[in-house]
Chains A and B, each alone.
Chain A
Amino acid sequence: MQLTDVPIHAPGVIGRIIDGEAVVVHPQQGKVQVLNPVGARLWELADGRRTVAELAQAIVAEYAVDLPRAQADALAFCEDLVKREVLTLAGKT
């Protein structure tokens, strides 16, 4: 996973924002995940147009966190969700 990667919701996976958190359902795996508010915001932003770096910049603008930390967290978050097949990388499917 790199800051230049462009994450997007994996096909078939559906998420909804509820009171700031996200409920993400992966029907093929039969798994349901709840993402905390920052994770929910990253989920919203992962639209297949923004890079991981841009996601981190958005988090810096909205939360009290510095850029290196936001980049590390965004990378870890996207990498984890890609492993879980909840996110995929645009252009790499």
Chain B
Amino acid sequence: MAALAPHATVLNDDLVLLRPEGAGWTAYGTPFWNAETLARDGQNAHGPLAGVYKLVQDRQVYLEPLSPAAAAAELVANCPVVNGIPELLPGLLASCRALAGAIPVQRLHFRKDPDFWGVIGCNSPMSQSTPRA
């Protein structure tokens, strides 16, 4: 996804930090980059969280809704380290439940082109500057 968004600011391609702030949630970048996209290291940014998408490679581009429990489960499954510590699980489950109740959590079926930007309700930075054939 990071490779398909060369003009976007990428918070991180591995781990991001999410925290409730005000009426919503904010996503923060972290220093933990994958080697393939380490060139983006230094894009230290944060911003309001509009949605959380579980990526599924597919031939079609579409969003798949998740039940509140499935959404919370996806979030828990993607919180490494913390989800393996029994003492922290009750708090993690509560946070993921709160996040899933506040922000849309869905599966994003995508193929390796920028079409997903339209599906998630954003205009691709590329499409704004480069007319698509």
Contacts and interface: CB of A to CB of B under 8 A. Distances in A.
Contact of B67 (A21, A27, A32, A33): A21
A12 B93 CA distance: 14
Interface residues of A, number: 16
A21 B72 CA distance: 11
Given A14-B89, A32-B77, A33-B73, A25 B83 contact: yes
A34 B89 CA distance: 15
A23 B72 CA distance: 7
Nearest to B92: A25
Given A23-B76, A25-B89, 9 more contacts: A12-B86, A23-B69, A23-B72, A25-B76, A27-B83, A27-B85, A32-B74, A32-B76, A32-B77
Interface of B: 67-70, 72-74, 76-77, 83-86, 89-90, 93, 97, 100
20 contacts: A16-B72, A16-B93, A18-B68, A18-B69, A18-B100, A21-B68, A23-B69, A23-B72, A23-B93, A25-B83, A25-B93, A27-B89, A30-B83, A30-B84, A32-B74, A32-B77, A32-B83, A33-B73, A34-B70, A34-B73
